Amino acid sequence: MLRAKNQALLQMQDIPSAVNALQFYANVQPSIRGRNVYVQFSSHQELTTMDQNQAREDEPNRILLVTVHHMLYPITADVLHQVFSPHGFVEKIVTFQKSAGFQALIQYQSRQSAVTARSTLQGRNIYDGCCQLDIQFSNLDELQVNYNNDRSRDFTNPNLPTEQKGRSSQPGYGDAGGMHSGARAGGFSQMANAAAIAAAFGGGLPPGITGTNERCTVLVANLNPDRIDEDKMFNLFSIYGNIVRIKLLRNKPDHALIQMGDGFQAELAVHFLKGAMLFGKRLEVNYSKHANITQGADTHEYANSNLNRFNRNAAKNYRYCCSPTKMIHLSTLPQDITEEEIVSLLEEHGTIVNSKVFEMNGKKQALVQFETEEQATEALVCKHASPLSGSVVRISFSQLQNI
């Protein structure tokens, strides 16, 4: 019985018997409990039975069964992807709640990737002191994913719906509600920032990030005063956290102060933007000696701006934190947007090497690759939050190497 697919495999005594059965039901509509069923030949030549636990222990498979013990923080499909993807291409992830605790099925493209992941990650913690991984081989041949959301994801099919609210995404693999659903509702709001960014980067903070900085204000020097303004600074620094206020220093026109939402977000901005090129200048980004920026006529306020990226889904946005790249990702686009319109919007900022418009979860998005990181950065700071056919364009750096 393949319960996840609402299918079954039936082995007849011999091939002629199977042919007779198929021919009979070609003319007669079979039904079970009032539901029509359909009969066809399987690619399997023979069914074999074995003890499930023995199969998991002894037979390597490209699908892993992962149990998370001592789970103090919510674990999502995206968190698991960050942890397991360094060991090979992850095709599908399904999470669910069973008597053994929170579990996940992770399907790799190759069996060798699954073997490597199991040997490397078995017994490891996703976070320090908690969320320990217990990994076995599954005896399943293929995962079926119906929805792309926090509990399941098909990385080979980004166009799946996100599911109806309150429904279990993969009832065939276990009850995906229970503890996981309850923790998800408020878990990330209670999760420490360091834990959230650790999840986004696969279980550990990036080199150079401590998660202990308490200074919220950043000093940026070597700006191009002829081309920079507060909104452009906001567009760039808001990738790494919420912006409270920004002040351009009139006595030092190539300097600016930026107050971030907290010290952790300020640390991310310093780490990822130090040395970045913008408008022909290499940015000098450091912590300011000022704890905060005093509100005044020469400051621009952003604390209540709905353009701040971390007002909702903060943990999700942390995974997009990176140094400037040649590739930018555009979202919240008009549904009828064309690739030509995207290129027309951005081509003034540099040489566009490649571009692609696609749809994910019913929403139009785009990837645009520039010739240099500086060109992509300029496009982001100038065009993020700009209006386009009734929509407000959202732009981030993408970590993809090519389209």
Q: What are the domain boundaries of the chain?
A: 1-49, 53-191, 217-318, 327-397
> What's the burial of 280, exposed, middle or buried (CB within 10 Å: 0-12/13-18/19+)?
exposed
Which fold, 53-191? Alpha-Beta Plaits (3.30.70)
Most confident of the ranges 14-23, 26-35, 66-75: 66-75
Q: How many CB atoms lie within 10 A of CB 307?
A: 16
Residue with tokens 């209006």: 387
pLDDT in the model for residue 106: 97
Q: Do residues 148 and 162 lie in contact, with contact meaning Cβ atoms separated by under 8 Å?
A: yes
So what's the pLDDT on residue 29?
72
Of 285, 237, 294, the closest CA to residue 261 belongs to 237
Query: Sign of torsion, CA 49 55 59 64?
Result: positive
- 107 CB neighbour count, 10 Å cutoff: 24
Stated length of the chain: 403
pLDDT at site 352: 97
Residue 246: how many other CB atoms lie within 10 Å: 23
Q: Do domains 53-191 and 327-397 have the same CATH topology?
A: yes
Percent of the chain predicted with pLDDT > 90: 51
Phi-psi region of 175 (alpha: psi -120 to 50; beta: other; left: phi over 0): beta
| Nearest CA-CA partner of 77 in 20, 162, 4 | 162
Is CATH 3.30.70.330 correct for 217-318? yes
Helices (H), 226-348: 230-237, 263-273, 314-318, 339-346
Burial class (CB in 10 A: 0-12, 13-18, 19+), 64: buried
pLDDT of 372? 97
Residues above pLDDT 70, as percent of the chain: 77
Question: Residue type at 76?
Answer: T
Q: For all residues of the chain together, what is the average pLDDT?
A: 82
Per DSSP, the residues of 79-109 read HHHHHHGGGS-EEEEEEEEETTEEEEEEEES
Q: What is the pLDDT of residue 291?
A: 86
The stretch 163-189 carries a mean pLDDT of 37
Domain 327-397 has CATH 3.30.70.330: yes
pTM above 0.75, yes or no: no
Given pLDDT bands bounded at 50, 70 and 90, which one contains residue 221? very high
pLDDT of residue 48: 64
pLDDT at 43: 59
Task: Please report the pLDDT score of residue 185 as a whole number.
Answer: 28
Q: Which of 130-134, 151-155, 348-352 has the lowest mean pLDDT?
A: 130-134
Identity at 99, one-letter amino acid code: S
